[in-house]
Amino acid sequence: MNWEGIPADATCLIYLARIDGFDRAASCVDSLLVSPAVWREAVVDGARLGYTDAERIKQAETAGIVTRLDLDAAAEKRAANLSATWRLGHGESETLAIGIDIGQAIIDDGRASRVATTISVEPVSTLFLPILGVGRGMQLAVAADLLRELAIVASAKAETVFVVEEFLRRTK
C-alpha cells in the first residue's frame, strides 16, 4: 500500500489531544495514520469513557491531520502475526504492520518499540515530533514548547527531555 504520513499509536493521539497539539503536529508530519484498532482505543473507547481527548482527535481527523486507514488483508495478517508472536496489543500491532511499509512508526510502548527495531521499523517517540518539526522548518522556540508540553503529559524523565532538547538544538 502507498500511504502518506506516519502511523501513530493511540498514546501519541492522546498526548496530542491533551495538549491541544494537533495543529503543531501538522508542522511535524504530513499526517498521523491511524489504524482501526488505534481509532477504537483512542476515540471510540475514549468517548464511551467520557474523555474529551476523543473529540479533539475527531476534530484532527476533520482537519486532515489524522487519517484513518482501513487495512488490507496483507496488513491485517501482518498485524495478527505481530500480535501473536510478540504479545502486543492490537493498536501497536496494527501500527507496526503499517510501519513495515513506511519504515517508521510513532510508537511509545517500550515492548512495541523494541519489536519495531527488530522488524526494521524505526520507532519514533511522540517526544521526537518537535525534532521532525524543526527539520521541516518549525521554529526552535515552538518546537521546544511542544516538547515541554508533551513531556509533561507523557511524564517523561528529565534526562530524556534534556537529550531531546540537545538534539533539537543540533537539528536547527
Q: What is the pLDDT of residues 87-139, one digit of tens each?
A: 999 999 999 999 998 999 999 999 999 999 999 999 999 999 999 999 999 99
The grid coordinates listed for 109 are 510502548
Q: Are residues 88 and 134 in the same domain?
A: no
Q: Are 107 and 113 in contact (CB under 8 A)?
A: yes
Give the residue numbers spanning the domain of 61: 6-126
Q: Note whether residue 164 is domain-resident.
A: yes
Q: Note whether residue 167 is domain-resident.
A: yes
User: Would you state the torsion angle of the CA atoms of residues 107, 108, 112, 114, taken in this order, to the nearest 10 degrees?
Assistant: 100
Confidence at 166, pLDDT banded by 50, 70, 90: very high
Query: Average pLDDT, whole number, for the chain?
Result: 95
Q: Give me the helices (H) in 26-157, please.
A: 36-39, 45-48, 53-62, 73-86, 90-102, 110-118, 129-135, 140-154
Q: What does DSSP assign to residue 43?
A: I
pLDDT of residue 3: 58
Q: Which helix (H) or strand (E) holds 159?
A: helix 158-171
pLDDT exceeds cutoff 90 at 171: no
- Please name which of 15, 56, 8, 13 lies closest in space to residue 151, comparing C-alpha atoms: 15
What pTM did the predictor assign? 0.94
Confidence at 169, pLDDT banded by 50, 70, 90: confident
Q: Are residues 49 and 90 in the same domain?
A: yes
Q: Are residues 115 and 65 in the same domain?
A: yes
